[in-house]
Amino acid sequence: MPLRLGDTAPNFDAQTTEGDINFYDWAGDHWVVLYSHPSDYTPVCTTELGRTASLKEDFEQRHAKVIALSVDDLESHKGWVKDIEDTQNVKMNFPIIADHDRKVAEAYDMIHPQADDKATVRSVFIIDPKRKVRLTLTYPPSTGRNFQEILRVLDSLQLTDNYSVATPVDWKDGDDVVVSPSIATEDIPDKFPKGHKEIRPYLRTTPQPNR
């Protein structure tokens, strides 16, 4: 069964480029971005891993950890890391899971039914500190992932977990947000003292409450 939003992310033990881990222990109380690659030495994925390393501080500011997965062994990963660092001008600073037996890929439904038995779907999972899956994205092999979008979703999830708001189309951190329909219009001033706009009775906006 594929993982759905709200499902508990499976735990696992694995070898990684930063040592053996138990996923839950490694994650601790952090948000986690887990994403997969079909195999080592793939060009698009090389650029993605380099970009992730360059964004380490951005993820840390959001109390988030990143971990990648590829269905190759640890020795292959170590060689790939050297290539990533050399070609992307970064120092790798997060783990890549060695999943040659496909246990993690299968637990997260990453094996593509139309591909060979080694290829994983290029999936992204955002997992919250309660181990719940909060976002899933699947990319085609030819399209690099947009990590600014992943950071944007982290911002949105963390904001909406703490306030009765939603984030509208193309929202970025600092933009106005949508007041939850469950809040009566007459109650908005008490909950959101920065003010609000009533565009329609069901569409009310307010400045981002934590900014």
Half-sphere exposure of 147 (CA within 13 A, CB side): 17
Q: Which pair of structure tokens corresponds to residue 95?
A: 């783990």
Q: Which pair of structure tokens corresponds to residue 50?
A: 């380099």
45 is catalytic: yes
DSSP state, residue 175: S
d(C-alpha 90, C-alpha 37), whole Å: 19
Give the active site residue among 45, 92, 105, 154. Answer: 45
Residue at token pair 């060695």? 98
Cα–chain-centroid distance for residue 134? 9
Task: Please identify every residue annotated as catalytic.
Answer: 45
